[in-house]
């Protein structure tokens, strides 16, 4: 069955962003998906503003360090300052989390923020220094739709990533292979496309890469191994920039990135012939990310039936989507951290260096029950009490208990509790007014077209209609909206 323009646009908006906003509920059935995508691209062209939650903290810390240097007990006082900084930093990471989530909800640059969330998982970094995290986030958001080489270089030289992957300790006298290994395995080539010798030699090339206390990238020449190295069959006096260049020259990098993008934006099961064609164009374009996304979102196969409603929304996508479509005012935004915790995706706290596995890993019995309750929680006032959801930490070789304790530790570090009351105001009149021109018999289908992707309505109408309040038009719209958002189909996009 051929998709209507409305259905195509709904699919596109959910994949290239976080779903329709309240402003998108105007009739748009006359717009082609090509025109819709062009408006999405245009809205994401402007460079993002720097999200800065830590300026006062950083200035105070630096001034404190300078002051104690003048005192006799400088070392002890310096440690005190560091502990104070760490405590405040953890609190500010929560603020950074919520401010970025607000950008996903409110920004017109939907594709940029959606791509940034993808890269946030690809370049997974767990670092409790809020200043380093916000620098890394800005690098990701600024380069999310640019050249992958620029993004890779910026991330590789960011203090957050250099710290997380131990390259500050990578010196010519004691090479540390962690950074070089992850850059190859997780950021570019993927497994089985490099040798252990390549890792060892690349680690030597990255020696000396580090950062200052202010978060500035520094190349320490006295710590760099200037000897001859052989990497990917090439021999020379290579440094870190040379390694990144060689990684980009390898076609395997284009294929690895393209396949991962395809699985995130199209389907968990990649169509390998399509991936190969996309990767070839991606490689030939010098890794132009915008070009890759254009090839995906303007293709005919993107709208194939098998790709419609085939993706499980991540917890952050689910939260952002609910807030975009309903005019919600949160009185205590911190409650969203509890949702992230319970559902297994806390921004700036990935489960391991490989990021969130996604797909069916988002769903288990406890997570699904909470997901189905979210609309009622957002549209009412109740205390939410949750158990810790263990992350998929197989990359760390930990058992269930180990995973649980790792997540508990992370929650303690983030300062996220287990119990919180969500207090919200929803401007229902503004929402219901968006459907004022829809005739009463057509209301259900209009709401379905707004909230669900094509082909999902067949399994929901009978149940939803039983739950609907038919005492009035506005009551019907409200109750059907909440009921549709509480269905398993709403978990998909």
Q: Within this chain, do residues 364 and 418 fall inside the same structural domain, yes or no?
A: yes
User: Is the separation of the CB atoms in 7 and 305 below 8 Å?
Assistant: no
- What's the pLDDT score for residue 458? 60
Same domain assignment for residues 455 and 415: no
Gyration radius (Cα) of the chain, Å? 24
Task: Tell me how far apart the alpha carbons of residues 349 and 274 are, in angstroms, rounded to a whole number.
Answer: 33
Q: Which of 387, 406, 426 is the last residue of a domain?
A: 426
Instruction: To the nearest 10°, report the CA torsion of 358, 363, 369, 374.
Output: 10
321 domain-assigned: yes
Q: Would residue 326 be called left, alpha or beta, if left means φ above 0 and alpha means ψ between -120 and 50 degrees?
A: beta
Residue at a domain's end among 426, 451, 471: 426
How far apart (Å, rounded) are the C-alpha atoms in residues 141 and 151?
A: 9
Estimate to the nearest angstrom the gap between the alpha carbon of 80 and the chain centroid: 34
**Cα distance between residue 326 and residue 303, in whole Å:** 26
Among 286, 327, 315, 312, residue whose Cα is nearest residue 152? 286
Please state, in angstroms and rounded to a whole number, the distance separating the CA atoms of residues 456 and 136.
Answer: 38
Q: Is 209 contained in some domain?
A: no
Could you tell me if residue 160 is inside a domain? no
Q: How many helices (H) and strands (E) does the chain have?
A: 22, 8
Is 412 part of a structural domain of the chain? yes
Q: Give yes or no: residues 410 and 447 share one domain.
A: no
Joined together, the tokens standing for residue 136 give 């890394």
Torsion of CA 330, 334, 338, 344, to 10 degrees: 100
Residue 228 and residue 386: Cα distance in Å, rounded? 55
Residues 340, 418, single domain; the answer is: yes
Helix axes 110-122, 289-297, angle to 10 degrees: 110
Contacts of 334 (CB under 8 A, 6+ apart): 94, 98, 420
Look at the alpha carbons of 432, 435, 436, 442 in this order and tell me if their dihedral is positive or negative.
negative
**Residue 350 sits in the same domain as residue 422:** yes
Helix axes 110-122, 33-43, angle to 10 degrees: 70
Domain's final residue, options 402, 426, 450: 426
Sequence-distant (6+) residues with CB within 8 A of 121 are 350, 355, 356, 358
Instruction: State which residues form the domain around 384.
Output: 315-426
Q: 261-283 in b/e burial notation, b at 16+ Cβ within 10 A?
A: bbbbbbbeebbeebbeebbeebb
At 492 the three-state DSSP class reads strand
321 and 405 fall within a common domain: yes
The rounded distance, in Å, linking the Cα atoms of 392 and 390 is 7
Contact indicator for 314, 345 with CB cutoff of 8 Å? yes
Q: Per the domain annotation, does 434 fall within a domain?
A: yes
Could you tell me if 372 and 382 lie in one domain?
yes
Three-state secondary structure of 218-230: EECHHHCCCCCEE
Residue in 177, 182, 170 with CA at minimum distance from that of residue 197: 177
Distance CA 27, CA 437 (A): 10
This prediction's pTM:
0.91
Does residue 237 belong to any structural domain of this protein? no
Residue 400 lies in a domain: yes
Looking at the fold, whether 319 and 418 belong to one and the same domain comes out as yes
- Give the integer Cα–Cα distance in Å for 400 and 408: 12
Residues 419 and 479 in one domain: no
Consecutive sets of 10 residues in the chain, 493 residues long: mean pLDDT of each? 87 96 69 92 96 76 44 54 82 96 98 98 96 97 98 98 97 96 98 98 98 92 97 98 98 98 98 98 98 98 96 98 95 92 96 96 90 88 57 36 44 56 88 94 92 73 90 96 94 95
Q: How far is CA 264 from the centre of its chain?
A: 11
Residues 399 and 323 in one domain: yes
Angle between helices 240-249 and 196-205 (to 10 degrees): 140
| 240-249 vs 148-156: helix crossing angle, rounded to 10 | 150
Which residues is 430 bridged to in the sheet? none
Cβ atoms of residues 335 and 316 within 8 Å: no
First-last CA distance in the chain: 18
CA distances from 406 to 228, 393, 401 (A): 41, 9, 8
C-beta of residue 289 within 8 angstroms of C-beta of residue 146: yes
Q: Give the whole-angstrom CA distance, residue 58 versus residue 290.
A: 34
Residues 320 and 383 in one domain: yes
418 with 339, same domain: the answer is yes
The answer to whether residue 329 sits within a structural domain is yes
pLDDT at 78: 66
Domains in the chain: how many in total? 2
């Amino acid at each position: 069955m051929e998709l209507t323009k409305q259905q195509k646009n709904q699919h596109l908006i959910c994949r290239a962003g976080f779903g329709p906003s309240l402003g998108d509920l105007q009739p748009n059935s006359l717009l082609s998906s090509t025109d819709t995508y062009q408006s999405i691209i245009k809205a994401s062209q402007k460079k993002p503003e720097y999200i800065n939650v830590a300026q006062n903290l950083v200035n105070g810390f630096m001034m404190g360090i300078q002051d104690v240097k003048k005192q006799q007990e400088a070392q002890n006082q310096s440690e005190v300052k560091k502990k104070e900084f760490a405590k405040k930093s953890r609190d500010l990471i929560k603020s950074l989390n919520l401010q970025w989530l607000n950008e996903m909800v409110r920004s017109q640059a939907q594709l940029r923020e959606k791509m940034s969330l993808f890269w946030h998982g690809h370049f997974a970094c767990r670092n409790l220094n809020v200043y380093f995290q916000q620098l890394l986030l800005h690098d990701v958001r600024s380069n999310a739709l640019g050249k992958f080489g620029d993004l890779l270089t910026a991330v590789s030289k960011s203090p957050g990533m250099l710290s997380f992957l131990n390259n500050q300790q990578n010196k010519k006298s004691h090479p540390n292979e962690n950074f070089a290994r992850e850059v190859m395995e997780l950021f570019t080539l993927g497994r089985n496309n490099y040798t252990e010798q390549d890792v060892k030699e690349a680690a030597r090339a990255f020696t000396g890469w580090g950062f200052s206390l202010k978060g500035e990238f520094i190349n320490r020449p006295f710590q760099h191994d200037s000897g001859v190295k052989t990497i990917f069959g090439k021999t020379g006096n290579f440094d870190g920039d040379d390694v990144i260049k060689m990684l980009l020259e390898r076609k395997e990098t284009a294929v690895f990135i393209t396949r991962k993008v395809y699985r995130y934006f199209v389907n968990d099961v990649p169509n390998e012939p399509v991936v190969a064609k996309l990767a070839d164009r991606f490689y030939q374009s010098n890794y132009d990310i915008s070009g890759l996304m254009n090839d995906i979102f303007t293709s005919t196969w993107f709208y194939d039936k098998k790709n419609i409603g085939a993706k499980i929304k991540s917890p952050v996508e689910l939260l952002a989507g609910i807030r975009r479509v309903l005019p919600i005012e949160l009185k205590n935004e911190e409650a969203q951290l509890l949702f992230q915790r319970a559902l297994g995706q806390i921004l700036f706290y990935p489960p391991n260096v490989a990021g969130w596995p996604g797909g069916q890993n988002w769903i288990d019995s406890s997570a699904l029950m909470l997901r189905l309750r979210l609309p009622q929680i957002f549209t009412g006032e109740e205390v939410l009490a949750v158990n810790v959801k263990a992350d998929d930490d197989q990359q760390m070789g930990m058992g269930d208990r180990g995973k649980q304790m790792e997540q508990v530790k992370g929650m303690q570090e983030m300062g996220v509790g287990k119990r919180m009351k969500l207090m919200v105001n929803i401007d229902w009149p503004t929402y219901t007014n968006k459907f004022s021109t829809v005739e009463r018999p057509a209301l259900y289908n209009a709401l379905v077209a707004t909230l669900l992707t094509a082909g999902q309505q067949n399994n929901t109408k009978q149940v939803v209609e039983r739950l609907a309040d038919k005492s009035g038009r506005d009551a019907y719209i409200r109750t059907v909206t909440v009921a549709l958002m509480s269905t398993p189909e709403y978990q998909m996009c």
